[in-house]
Amino acid sequence: QRVSLATQNRHYATLHRFFEWCVQESIVQENPMENLPRRRPNKDVGEVQPGSVIRSLNKEQIEKILRNAQTTREKLLFTILYTSGIRISEALDLNIQDIQDGTINIRQGKGNQPRQAYLSKSTEKLLQQCLEERGNPTSGAIFVTTHGQRLSYARARQLFMDAARNLINTDGTPVTIHQLRHTFCTERAGHIDSFVLQRLAGHNDIRTTLRYAKVSD
């Protein structure tokens, strides 16, 4: 009761996989998690199955986040997530040479699958400005710290939380950096072919893409 349904399910999956390994290594004879059912959502307290709720941001929230961005680097990061729909991990892994002629070449997306995404014109200008402020390097990570190290997820998340301070979703939950990508998909669902959106977002299963169509007008 002290953790969310999603967290408990992650704990369940971790333990299940651990005991599978124990069986394989002959440490135990059977997986004790096999007969332990997963926790079901308690609808009385507003719980839903993980992944069934998609929270996107509205225009006013996006504008406020970008206004609150302290540096060009932060504004570029938030903009590329919102306008290109790539994952935060994919953005942080990007090197300067991975972007050519407005095309983002993602070398290793989710499931180790390479794919392409695209920069908007405004994002291209931000990228150029960001690189100019760093002395126009031609290689290396796009998103770096003041010490030249690749920006970490924890730091990127903190920067977003600072920019999104006082912003909450309609259900009272705090907004998250992942909602920039969700907003990209939600805004395009129903306006472009679902298979095109699937490719842009890097979804392995079209059913993941179709979830966004359900929440789009």
Paired sense of beta strands 99-100 and 103-106, if any: antiparallel
Is 16 noted as a catalytic residue in this protein?
Answer: no
As a whole number of Å, the end-to-end CA separation of the chain is 35
Is 43 noted as a catalytic residue in this protein?
Answer: no
Beta partners for residue 106, in sequence order: 115
Beta-carbon contacts of residue 50 (< 8 Å; ≥ 6 apart): 5, 6, 9
- Residue 127, burial from CB neighbour count under 10 angstroms (0-12, 13-18, 19+): buried
Is 110 noted as a catalytic residue in this protein?
Answer: yes
Q: Which of 73, 181, 182, 188 is catalytic?
A: 181
Angle at 93 (CA atoms; ends 88, 94), nearest 5 degrees? 100
- CA–CA separation, 87 vs 126, rounded Å? 19
Is 181 noted as a catalytic residue in this protein?
Answer: yes
Q: Which of 87, 150, 157, 199 is catalytic?
A: 87
Q: Which of 150, 155, 178, 199 is catalytic?
A: 178
Q: Which of 73, 75, 188, 203 is catalytic?
A: 203
Q: Residue 19 CB: number of other CB atoms within 10 A?
A: 17
- Residue 76, burial from CB neighbour count under 10 angstroms (0-12, 13-18, 19+): buried
For residue 197, the SS3 value is: helix
Q: Which of 16, 110, 115, 150 is catalytic?
A: 110
For residue 35, the SS3 value is: coil
- CA–CA separation, 135 vs 203, rounded Å? 36
Is 178 noted as a catalytic residue in this protein?
Answer: yes
Q: Which of 73, 75, 82, 212 is catalytic?
A: 212
Active site residues: 87, 110, 178, 181, 203, 212
